Amino acid sequence: MDSPLAETPREKLEAWLRYYDDLNLGEFFVDRRIMGKRSVELPVVRPQQTAPAAAPGATPAAATSAIRNTPPAALPVVQAASLFEAIDRVEGDTLELIRENLGECTRCRLHEQRNKIVFGAGNARAELVFVGEGPGHDEDVQGLPFVGRAGKLLTQMIEAMGLAREDVYICNVVKCRPPENRKPEDDEVATCSPYLYRQLEVIGPKAIVCLGGVAAQTLLKTKDPISRFRGNWFDFRNTKLLATYHPAYLLRNPSAKSEVWKDLQKVMTLLGLRPPKTSR
């Protein structure tokens, strides 16, 4: 008699599929684009949570359910957080400790021309965190995030959501102004972003909104252009994350404001927010 352990590969596969069928997991996806490239990477997650249209009056629970039930869409593959990022979690961490650790940072070349480090500002217990790219001229002068023209527009967006700036937390991927407002280089992002990860870990928001491609690409570990995944929900370390256009882009392209507002309405639905009543 054959040993019960002497299964053929086909029998093993059938048993494995039956097991997952019992768990009600009926579909499997293998992304062939990443096959053969995963020698040292953690599992790849597919950001299939295409956000549902914000139903008027929908509860956060209904929105979450809709996210879960939305079928996978053709979206970019996003890698899970790396082991190196995982060790950025510091026992007993606080925003004050992170700022202290940062000190008068000279870890990357962006320190050379900066005036002030722009650490971040807002509610340390915020349910909503906005992450931008890096400080601009006004931010560099004042040491505060989003205080220039784009910052004013961000404030309007926050208030349109029924919140005040003090209710949310606002920070950037890099904390020093890149010269001539250029995009931060990969090595600068890699050097500075661990402090951002620690900030997000300490605050523990319900939602993160990435403003612009650099913030979204940094947190989602993708090089895909933001236009490919803007307005979709992703999981970032058990927090819902959505990318939308940067307010500076909206200043140059006002017609994109309606798209951003749709994105923010999805965030409002998730957080159970309603826009303030206006008297007309």
Binding site for ligand SF4 (CB under 6 A): 102, 105-108, 110-111, 117, 174-176, 188, 191-192
Instruction: Give alpha helix (H) positions in the chain.
Output: 9-22, 60-69, 83-86, 95-102, 137-142, 149-160, 186-203, 213-220, 247-252, 257-271
Q: Closest approach of Cβ 215 to ligand SF4, in Å?
A: 14
CA distances for 194 relative to 81, 86, 115, 153, 175, angstroms: 12, 10, 21, 28, 11
Nearer to ligand SF4, 105 or 121 (CB): 105
Nearer to ligand SF4, 111 or 125 (CB): 111
Q: Closest approach of Cβ 189 to ligand SF4, in Å?
A: 9
Nearer to ligand SF4, 196 or 270 (CB): 196
CA 49 vs. chain centroid, Å, equals: 13
Q: Closest approach of Cβ 147 to ligand SF4, in Å?
A: 18
Nearer to ligand SF4, 131 or 264 (CB): 131
Q: Closest approach of Cβ 105 to ligand SF4, in Å?
A: 3
Nearer to ligand SF4, 106 or 156 (CB): 106
CA distances for 25 relative to 22, 78, 187, angstroms: 7, 21, 40
Q: Closest approach of Cβ 101 to ligand SF4, in Å?
A: 10
What are 169's two structure tokens?
């937390």
Q: Closest approach of Cβ 181 to ligand SF4, in Å?
A: 14
Nearer to ligand SF4, 175 or 240 (CB): 175
Nearer to ligand SF4, 108 or 241 (CB): 108
Nearer to ligand SF4, 15 or 190 (CB): 190
Q: Closest approach of Cβ 173 to ligand SF4, in Å?
A: 9
Query: DSSP 3-state assignment of 75?
Result: coil
Q: Closest approach of Cβ 164 to ligand SF4, in Å?
A: 27
Q: What value, to the nearest 5°, has the Cα angle with vertex 75 and ends 262 and 190? A: 90
CA distances for 108 relative to 22, 184, 275, angstroms: 52, 11, 41
Burial of 155 (C-beta count, 10 Å sphere; 0-12/13-18/19+): middle
In the block, tokens 């991927």 appear at 173
DSSP letter string over 160-194? HTT--GGGSEEEESSSSPPGGGPPPPHHHHHHHHH
What are 16's two structure tokens?
């494995």
